[in-house]
Structure 1
Amino acid sequence: MSELKKILVIEDDKTISDELKILLDDNGYDAYQLFNFHQITKKIIEFNPDLVLLDIVLPGTNGQTILKEIRKESNLPVIMLTSKTGDINEIMSMSYGADDYITKPYNPTLLLLRIETLFRHLDDRGSNNQIEYNQMTINLLKSTLTYKDNEIILSKNELTILYYLIKNHGKIVSRDELIDHLWDYSDFVDDNTLTVNINRLRKKMSNLGILDSIETRRKQGYILL
């Protein structure tokens, strides 16, 4: 029997945290809760869960700061929880490297769908753990991009976008196709979320010296050159 996926819930509202734990435990996951936020990044890294559900507003800190610190050391999947419905908070979270977000009060079915989609994309990478394209090496297990002996860590979404564009190199991939591939529920995804992920991926590639590799085709989509 395979081990259950460990999901760490970081939510200061005990009622919501308890509800999330019950929901996750009842749907085949192994959920844990964290209420002590002192040295929280260290605790998260040491615990090494398969996924973190991270509230944006926490006592004495905030989820975006924690996420930024996590990304300095780890690429573990993170879904942000927010009670603020403004696009700014959602996009800010994605720009720090969140894999997804969900707005409270959350829809249990939608949350489970997003978790399932995230894990499926991680699992679907298969046995071919490393691919090469135009002097780039993408390690799917480590979630890294290497170019001319320089290496950077990619978020789950950045890795998925780059991998999908490589698989479809020479072809224009529409924005709708990318959104469907990334999240499987495009009706619930702000179009700006994809833009943030594309721009973040371009910036990381540029920092490695990979310039103008992802070209925007107006009203059509993107193509990897």
Structure 2
Amino acid sequence: MEAGDAMENGFQEGEETPAVSRTPWCRQDLPDWEEIWAACWQRIRTWRVPPRWSAGDWSEELQAQGAAAAWQALDNYDATRGVPLRVYVHQRVLASALTRSRQEWSYALRFAFEISANDSRDAIEEDESLNATAFEALHQGLANLAEQDRRLIELLFWDGHTEAEVAEMMGISQPAVSKRKWALLRVLRSRLGPSDKND
């Protein structure tokens, strides 16, 4: 990992693995918990720290998440599957940390979008003529989209469905919905924005 990468993701270069809490279940049921956490931490520390979190608080949050995942992994472990306990716990801890990180980034993006949408709404409300013009332009832009594209936008933004729900409704994959959504937003933005500059 490059020095710039360490600063960019919020953790300091050469930062040691955070000390792990030594709960009784870790010592007696999983004697190599410190090693498992250290191995997981080497990967986790390369991830970017979400907005509104300090690097220290975020590492503590993920350590707590990892400890809970390790406990759950011990409870769910099935030796008959042929997966070593250490490997199983390591996978569950990483998966749990990744899920928590994705949740926090999703929340941050949704929060930023809501603030942006509220700011946009406030600006539009200040000028009624701009309001009418903007909604007319948006309506016209949507009318020019193909039926399936218009339905995708309406399901996501008007009806409030998630990308996964829209994917199921439309019979396509969730990544395809996401890719198509961003492509359509770029098309709408290009149709709505530049024409004002030329007038």
Which of these two proteins has the greater Rg computed from alpha carbons?
2
**Greater fraction strand:** 1
Q: Normalising by structure 1, report the TM-score.
A: 0.27
TM-score by length of 2: 0.30
